[in-house]
Amino acid sequence: MSAKPAKDFDSVTVPAPNLDYDLAHVSLRRPDQRGFYEGISNAVLWPLLHGFEPTIQVGEAPWSSYVGANEEFAETAHSMSSSGDVFWIQDYHLMLVPGLLRTKRPKARIGWFCHIPWPPPDTFGILPWREEILEGLLGADVLGFHLPEYAEHFRQCVERFTAYDVTRDEIQYQSRKVRTIAAPIGIPVDELQALAIDPDVGREVERIRQMMGNRQLILGVDRLDYTKGIPERLAAFERLLRKDKSARARYALIQVMVPSRTDVKAYADLKEEIDRMVGDINGRYADTGRVPVHYLYRNLSQRALFAHYRAADVALVTPLRDGMNLVAHEYAAARTDDDGVLVLSEFAGAAKYLKGAVLVNPYDVESTTSAIHRALAMKRSEKKKRMRALRAEVMRLDVHRWADDYVKALEGT
């Protein structure tokens, strides 16, 4: 699609001009909007499905807003569709929509995809609405997850909390079979590689390198989120500066952090913690004219982002838990020169696929520091070998392939 729907980051005009598909506006009352998005999706489901404590009391959470919003989405999808259409619902915000749509269109082919992890039954079972959620999802024909282990956890939840029969990768739900599949997402590789070698990006790479002096560059790019392991990463970099006196003259960390969910207290608290850590590190290790941590708290243009990927000797992608993590894919796509090292958390879904990365346990600060050190000192031949393996895998996981395969799986039902 050649469409350019977003006017600004995070906003879209409806109806949108120049689109070759239709966008519908789903109207929610303001209290429902907050309850659905912040109260349930961001404060309960997001942390819990990542295996973290919910950030509000689960029993007090505004579940009726989540139900109401899902009903609105299902009704809008129904009213815009006709009987032969295929539905593909995205993510944990809309887990009741498959079941709601099924009652309106009993013969429709319905898919749902989970962009984040799915936890084992002991964690998922904390939710007071666990049966309702599972019933909602089982309205679909195909349920997709990034990893086989997330799909396995989902089937274990169905076994534990419902009476339906579960076989190797299917659930017998009333008269229908519901398939669970591992469908790892990717990125639009060709488009992003073309961006990476754009001459404007090349000029920006030179500018970044010059500005940073002769230091080797380490890059972190994340939405501000407690799942992304940013304080742990800063602690590992601080340790590198503390242990090696020459490090401050040789290395710099650029941390791009995109504002997110600024209305949720846990996010505001995390922002304060990160601000303080960056201030402490820079206060302690900066010299006049040379700062160790360059901290960009804003959204960069994609062009600028790709210039940073190409300028970085090492990318640090160290989430505490992540469904997949596309920054890891993008870094490899940007490195058409086969240079650069990806240091990747073993708790990112991407670690199960991207074999050329240096894997770390982000909770283990000391070993993360060693991994950064190893990446910075890696021989050209090893870097090249690893980056080639990474890039081959990122190409295999292309997002267009992901979408085609998913739709084929749905059409085959």
Angle at 344 between CA 343 and CA 350, to 5 degrees: 145
* Distance, CA of 98 to CA of 263 (rounded, Å): 29
Q: Residue 49 interacts with ligand GDG (CB under 6 A)?
A: no
Binding mask 61-100 for ligand GDG (x = CB under 6 A): ----------------------------------------
6/26 with CB nearer ligand GDG:
6
Can you list the positions of beta strands (E) in 109-174? 109-114, 142-145, 165-166, 170-173
Q: How many CB atoms lie within 10 A of CB 320?
A: 21
Q: Residue 325 interacts with ligand GDG (CB under 6 A)?
A: yes
115/176 with CB nearer ligand GDG:
115
The two most distant CA atoms of the chain are separated, in Å, by: 72
* Distance, CA of 92 to CA of 89 (rounded, Å): 9
| Total site size for ligand GDG, rule CB under 6 A | 18
Q: Is the peptide bond before 17 cis (omega within 30 degrees of 0)?
A: no
64/302 with CB nearer ligand GDG:
302
Sheet-wide strand order for 358-360: 293-296, 251-258, 216-223, 314-317, 341-345, 358-360
65/325 with CB nearer ligand GDG:
325
Q: How far is the CB of 85 from ligand GDG (least distance, A)?
A: 23
Of 165-173, 318-326, 331-339, 388-396, the segment contacting ligand GDG by CB under 6 A is: 318-326
Tell me which H or E stretch contains 375: helix 365-376
Of 154-162, 325-333, 382-390, 404-412, the segment contacting ligand GDG by CB under 6 A is: 325-333
Q: Residue 324 interacts with ligand GDG (CB under 6 A)?
A: yes
Q: Residue 315 interacts with ligand GDG (CB under 6 A)?
A: no
Q: How far is the CB of 233 from ligand GDG (least distance, A)?
A: 14
Which residue's structure tokens are 């267009």? Answer: 400
Q: How far is the CB of 256 from ligand GDG (least distance, A)?
A: 5
Check 322, 329, 373, 398 and give the catalytic one: 322
For 283, counting Cβ atoms within 10 Å of its Cβ (0-12 exposed, 13-18 middle, 19+ buried), the class is exposed
Q: Residue 401 interacts with ligand GDG (CB under 6 A)?
A: no
User: Which listed residue (305, 316, 387, 397) binds ligand GDG by CB under 6 A?
Assistant: 305
The encoded tokens of residue 132 equal 């309702």
Of residues 106-135, which lie at the interface with ligand GDG (CB under 6 A)? 115-116
User: Which listed residue (323, 340, 356, 362) binds ligand GDG by CB under 6 A?
Assistant: 323
Output phi, psi for 237, to 5 deg.
-70, -40
28/304 with CB nearer ligand GDG:
304
User: Which listed residue (19, 58, 181, 300) binds ligand GDG by CB under 6 A?
Assistant: 300
* Distance, CA of 74 to CA of 302 (rounded, Å): 33
Active site residue 405: no
Q: How far is the CB of 304 from ligand GDG (least distance, A)?
A: 7
Q: How far is the CB of 321 from ligand GDG (least distance, A)?
A: 9
Report yes or no: 363 and 347 within 8 Å, Cβ to Cβ: no
Of residues 171-210, which lie at the interface with ligand GDG (CB under 6 A)? 185
* Distance, CA of 113 to CA of 89 (rounded, Å): 6
Report yes or no: 98 and 136 within 8 Å, Cβ to Cβ: yes
Active site residue 200: no
378/403 with CB nearer ligand GDG:
403
Report yes or no: 69 and 32 within 8 Å, Cβ to Cβ: yes
CA atoms within a 13 Å half-sphere pointing along the CA-CB vector of 195: 20
User: Which listed residue (221, 234, 315, 316) binds ligand GDG by CB under 6 A?
Assistant: 221
Radius of gyration of the chain (CA): 22
Q: How many CB atoms lie within 10 A of CB 274?
A: 19
43/166 with CB nearer ligand GDG:
43
* Residue ranges in contact with ligand GDG by CB under 6 A: 115-116, 185, 221, 223, 256, 258, 299-300, 302, 305, 322-327, 330
Residues with catalytic roles:
115, 322
